Amino acid sequence: MNSPIDYLSEIEDPRVDRTKDHLLEDIIFITIAAVICGAHTWNDIENYGNAKEIWLKQFLKLPEGIPTHDTFNRVFSAIDPAQMEKCFINWVKSVCELTEGEVVSIDGKTIRGSRDKGSKSIVHMVSAWAQLNHLSLGQVKVDDKSNEITAIPKLLDILIIKGCIVTIDAMGCQTEIADKIIKKGGDYILAVKGNQGSLQEGIMDIIKFTKPIETYEDLDFGHGRIEKRVCSIYTDFSHIENWERWKNLQCVAKIDSHRHIKSSGENETETRIYICSVTPSAEKIEKCIRAHWGIENSLHWVLDVAFNEDKSMKTNPIAAENFSIINRIALNLLSNEKSKKRSIKGKRLDAGWDNDYLNKILRN
C-alpha cells in the first residue's frame, strides 16, 4: 500500500512564514502515527511525539522539536478540509482498485462531540465504504443549512464507481442521485421509505397485487439470534407513477426479516423495500443489501468505539473535519495490515509498543 504521507504533502500550508516553527509534513506525520497508536486528543499527540522523538527523528527533520498540542490544534484548524479530502481520495484511488460488482455503501455520520456550547452547529459527514476492499473511500461534510441529499451528489462526483453497486438508505432515494450513479457507470440499490410517498405507495401496491418473479431465503445464526431474510423481486412497475423517471430501473426488492433473540425468546419482524438498477436476482440483491451494513459495522462503529470519534471534543468544525480524515487514514492502514489477526484496537496497541510494526503499517 502506498503511503498516504506522499499524497498529504501536497496540502498547502495555511500558516504565514513567521509562524512556521515546525514543518507541515512533520505535523501531519506525527498526527497520523499517534492516531494509529491510540491518540485521540491534541494532548495525546504531543505526548506521543515527546515519547517517540528519537524514533521520529529517523524520518522527520523536527527543526524545533515536537510541536505543542496548541500547535497541532491551530494547524488542523487552518488546513483547508477540501484539500485534505482531495489528497485522501487520491491516496485511496492509488491503493484501491474497485472490482466489478463491488458494493459501495454511502451513509451519514454525526460527530456529536463537535458541537460547541450554545451552538446548534454540529459536524455531519457523508462517507463511502467499499465492502470487499474494506476501505473508507471518501467523505463530504454536510453543509450546516443543508442535508445528506445535497452532500451525496458531491461525494459521488469525487468517487470512481464504474462497475460498482451503490447502496444508500432512504435519504438518498432521489431521482437525481440515481441518475448520477448510472451516468458514472454504476448501479444503485436505494431504500424507499416515507420520504418518497407516492413511490412507496406504488411499491406497496405492486407487492399487494402482483407476484414476485423470484425469491431467495437466507438464514443467519450469529450474534445471539436466528434471523431469516426473504428477498422477493418484482418487475411489474405498473403501479408506480412515472416510474420511467428512475434511471435504468430494473426491479423492486422486498426484504422480510424474521429475528428470534435467543436470550429473551423475543421475535421481531421487519419489512424493507428498495428500488434497484441491477439485474433482477433475489440472491444477489439480498447479499448487496446485507453488505450495506458494513458501513455501520466496519466504519462508523469502529470509528466510535476504537477511535472515540463520537466523543471527540474538537468543537472547531474545520479541525473536527480534518481529524475525521486522519481517523479514516489510520483505519484504512490498520485494516489492510494483514500480518496480524488482531482487532483494530489490538493493532493500535501493538503499533504503540512496537515501532517496527508501526513502520510496517505506515509503509506497507
Q: From residue 278, how far is each of 251, 303, 322, 328 by CA, in Å? A: 8, 31, 35, 29
Contacts of 45 by beta carbon, 8 Å cutoff, 6+ apart: 30, 31, 34, 35, 39, 69, 72
C-alpha gyration radius of the chain = 23
Instruction: Please say whether the beta carbons of 202 and 208 come within 8 A.
Output: no
Per-residue model confidence (pLDDT) at position 244: 95
DSSP 247: T
Residue 233, C-alpha cell as written in the block? 423481486
Kindly report, residue by residue over 170-201, the tens digit of the pLDDT.
999 999 999 999 999 999 999 999 878 799 99
Return the pLDDT at 258.
92
Q: How far is CA 165 from CA 134, 276, 301, in A?
A: 15, 10, 22
Taking CA atoms, 137 is separated from 41, 70, 101, 103, 241, in Å, by 24, 30, 16, 12, 35
Contact 344, 335 (CB under 8 A): yes
Number of H helices, E strands in the chain: 15, 9
SS (HEC) of 135-149: EEEEEEECCCCCCHH
d(CA 359, CA 170): 42
**Sheet strands side by side (includes 103-111):** 135-141, 123-130, 103-111, 165-168, 187-192, 267-276, 251-261, 225-234, 214-220
Compute the 3-state secondary structure of the chain and give helix, strand, coil in percent, each to the nearest 5: 45, 20, 35
Please say if the pLDDT value at position 147 is more than 90: no
Q: Check residue 280 and report its DSSP letter.
A: -
**pLDDT for res 142:** 87
Closest CA to 275 of 351, 350, 207: 207
The total number of residues shown for the chain amounts to: 364
Longest dimension (CA), the chain: 74
- Is residue 209 scored above 90 in pLDDT? yes
- pLDDT reported for residue 249: 98
pLDDT in tens, 286-306: 999 999 988 998 999 999 999
Residue 197: the pLDDT is 79
Nearest residue to 12 (alpha-carbon basis) of 26, 29, 25, 30: 25
Hey, how many other C-beta atoms are within 10 angstroms of the C-beta on 143? 11
Cα(132)–Cα(98) distance, integer angstroms? 8
- pLDDT at position 113, please? 59
Mean model confidence pLDDT for the chain: 91
C-alpha distances (whole Å) from 192 to each of 44, 107, 201, 353 are: 43, 14, 10, 47
Distance, in Å, from the CA atom of 109 to the CA atom of 121, rounded to the nearest integer, reads 14
Expressed in angstroms, the distance from the first to the final Cα of the chain is: 5
Residue 115's pLDDT band, with cuts at 50, 70 and 90, is low
